[in-house]
Structure 1
Amino acid sequence: MSFRIPSRWAPYVLVSPFLILFAVFGLFPLAFSGWLAFQSWEPTSGIEAMQFVGFDNFVFALTDGWFWKSLWNTLWLALASGLPQHLVALPLAVFLHQAFGRWRGLFSGAYFLPYITSTVAIAMLAGSLFSTDYGLINQALHAAFGIDNIHWMRSPDAIKPAVAMVVFWRYVGFNLVLYLAALQTIPHDLYQAARLDGAGPWQQFLRITLPGLKPMILFGVTLSIIGGLQLFEEPFILTNGKGGADQSAMTVAMYLYRLAFDFSDFGGASALAWLMFGLIALLTWLTNKAFADRQVQA
Structure 2
Amino acid sequence: MTSTTSVRPAPTALTFRQKLNRFDYKFSPYLYIAPFFILFALIGLFPIIYTFNVSLYDWHLLKGQGDFVGLENYVSVLTDPFFWNAFRNTISIFLLSTIPQLVVATGIAALLDQTLRGRTFWRMSILLPYIVAPVAVAVIFLQIFNQYHGPIAGLLELFGLDPVRWAFDVFPSHVAIATMVNWRWTGYNALILLAAMQAIPRDVYESAALDGANKVRRFWSITIPMIRPTLIFVVITATIGGLQIFTEPKLFDGRTNGGSDRQFQTIVLYLYELAFPRRDFGRASATAWILFLIIILAGLLNFAISRAIRTADTKPTKLPRVKAPVPATVPDTRKRG
TM-score (norm. length: structure 2):
0.80
How much has 1:128 moved relative to structure 2? 1.1
Q: Distance in 1 between matches of 2:186 and 2:199?
A: 21
Is the 2:106–2:193 Cα contact (8 Å) retained in structure 1?
A: yes
Number of equivalences: 289
Does 2:116 align with 1:100? yes
> Which residue of 2 is the match for residue 297 of structure 1?
312
1:110 Cα deviation after fit:
1.9
Residues in 2 aligned to 1:134 and 1:244: alpha-carbon distance in whole angstroms: 20
Match of 2:330 in 1: none
Give the alignment partner of residue 61 of structure 2, picking from 8, 32, 43.
Answer: 43
1:108–1:43: structure 2 CA closer, same or farther, 3 Å change rule?
A: same
2:242 aligns with 228
SS at match of 2:170: coil
* CA pair 222-19 structure 1, distance change in 2 beyond 3 A: closer
Partner of 1:75: 91
Counterpart of 2:130? 115
Deviation at 1:14, TM superposition (A): 7.0
| Deviation sequence 1:203-248 (CA, Å, 0-9, x none) | 1111111111211110111111100000000000111142114211
By how many angstroms is 1:164 displaced? 1.1
- Name the structure 1 match of 2:199: 185
Number of the residue aligned with 2:44: 26
Alpha carbons of 1:24 and 1:213: their partners in 2 closer, same or farther (altered >3 Å)? Answer: closer
Q: Which residue of 2 aligns with 1:3?
A: none
2:293 to 273, 278, 281: 278
State the distance in 1 between where 2:32 and 2:222 align: 44
How far apart in 2 are the matches of 1:289 and 1:15?
A: 29
Q: Is 1:251 aligned with 2:266?
A: yes
- How far apart are 1:93 and its partner, in Å? 1.2
List alignment gaps of at least 5 residues for structure 2.
1-18, 314-337
Residue among 61, 68, 75 paired with 2:77: 61
Q: Does residue 107 of structure 2 align to residue 91 of structure 1?
A: yes
**1:76 aligned partner, one-letter code:** S
In 2, the alpha carbon distance for the partners of 1:198 and 1:15 equals 49
Larger Rg: 2
How far, CA to CA, are the matches of 1:114 and 1:88 in structure 2? 15
Distance 1:211 1:19, change over 3 A: closer
Percent pairwise identity:
37
Provide the rounded CA distance (Å) in 1 between the counterparts of 2:311 and 2:46.
40
Q: 1:96 to 1:280 in 2, by over 3 A?
A: same
Corresponding position of 1:124: 139
> SS at 1:131's partner residue?
coil
Which amino acid letter does the alignment assign opposite residue 187 of structure 2? Answer: G
Distance 1:86 1:256 in 2: 28
| More relative contact order, 1 or 2 (CA 8 Å, 6+ apart) | 1
Which range is displaced more, 9-18 or 167-176? 9-18
For each residue in 1:268-297, what CA deviation from the matched residue of structure 2 results, as whole angstroms up to 9, or x when unmatched? 111111111111111111111111111111
The farther-off stretch of 16-25 and 172-181 is: 16-25
Which ranges of structure 1 fall in alignment gaps of 5 or more residues? 1-5
> Is 266-275 or 68-77 further displaced after alignment?
266-275
> How much does 1:99 deviate?
4.0
